[in-house]
Every structure is written in C-alpha cells, then in structure tokens.
Amino acid sequence: MTTFAHCRRGSAGIETAFALPVLLFLGFAAADAGWLLAERHRMKSGLAAATHYLARSRDVATSEDKARNLAVTGQTASGGAARVKGWTPGEVSVSYRLLDNSGGAYAGGDQVRVVRLESDRPYQGFGMLGLVGVGPVRVHVAHEERWTGG
C-alpha cells in the first residue's frame, strides 16, 4: 500500500484531464468576448462615418437611406457586404434633436440641430458568454454629431 501512495506515474495525465476543459472553456469565452468587442467596434465605426456623412448633407431626408447603407456596408449604395454578419440597414435608426443654444455656448443660432444614428442587435458569437451566465447579449451602439448642412 505504501508503494501505491508514493507512485506518481499518470498524475500529469489526470491533472491535464481536470485542467484542460476549464482552460479550453476560458479560452473560448475570452475569444467570444474579444469577438464581441470587435463587432461593437465595427458597428461604432460604421455609425460614426454615416453620422458624419448625414450631418454634412444639405437634405437629410433624402440622405437617410444612404447613411444607413454607409453605416452597414461602408458605401452609400445598397447591396454591399455588411461590416458585421447579419447587420442590415433596417437595424439602423436615425433621429434628430435640437439643443438649446440661447446662452451662445456654440456657434450658430439659438438652437443647434444634432443628428443621431443608433443600432441595437443581438450578438450571436460562439455562445460561450451565455454559458458563463451573461445571458442573451445585445450590442447597442450610437453616435451623434451636430448637423451643419454642408
């Protein structure tokens, strides 16, 4: 019995059998989180470019669809490949608001018009974040810029 207690053959295999699934799980969860951040960054970059385009447009009503396409595909024409798999121009919303500038904090009139684009969509990923207990993950990104009209 004492020789069995002092025997260490096979202990590395048993330790690997216990540690490897945990390490693989953590590695895939980290990769999934990294992919989530990359997807968010691609969406944010697209919305920033589209907001910049729309804020400099003279007629925003006719440029909204072009801006949505620009956010999703990187081009104003429809039909391009999306920056993020499954992201569509229909998931990009455009809104406007007026800021009070009666105090003259900004150059211009008493009101400043701001253009806002935002998108909210479910994140698919590898599914590892759901296993960790994060639950269904949604990516919500918004960008706004002052409208100058050309």
**Token pair 């018009």: residue:** 113
In a domain, 2, yes or no: no
- pTM for this predicted structure: 0.81
In a domain, 6, yes or no: no
Cα–Cα separations (whole angstroms), residue 33 to 39, 132, 137 = 10, 11, 11
In a domain, 52, yes or no: yes
pLDDT for 16 equals: 82
In a domain, 3, yes or no: no
In a domain, 29, yes or no: yes
In a domain, 98, yes or no: yes
- The pLDDT tens digits along the chain (150 residues) read 566 556 567 777 788 888 899 898 888 888 888 999 999 999 999 999 999 999 999 988 889 999 999 999 999 998 889 999 999 999 999 999 998 888 877 777 788 889 999 999 998 887 777 777 777 888 999 999 998 876
Whether residue 80 contacts residue 87, with contact meaning beta carbons closer than 8 Å, is answered with no
In a domain, 51, yes or no: yes
pLDDT for 3 equals: 60
Per the structure, how many domains does the chain have?
A: 1
Q: Which residues are paired to 113 by β-bridges?
A: 98
In a domain, 5, yes or no: no
pLDDT for 124 equals: 83
- Residue 119 is part of which domain span? 12-146
Distance in angstroms (rounded) separating the CA atoms of residues 150 and 58: 5
Cα–Cα separations (whole angstroms), residue 22 to 9, 16, 36, 56, 130 = 23, 10, 21, 51, 16
Whether residue 55 contacts residue 146, with contact meaning beta carbons closer than 8 Å, is answered with yes
Q: Which residues contact 53 (CB under 8 A, 6 or more apart)?
A: 63, 66, 67, 70, 76
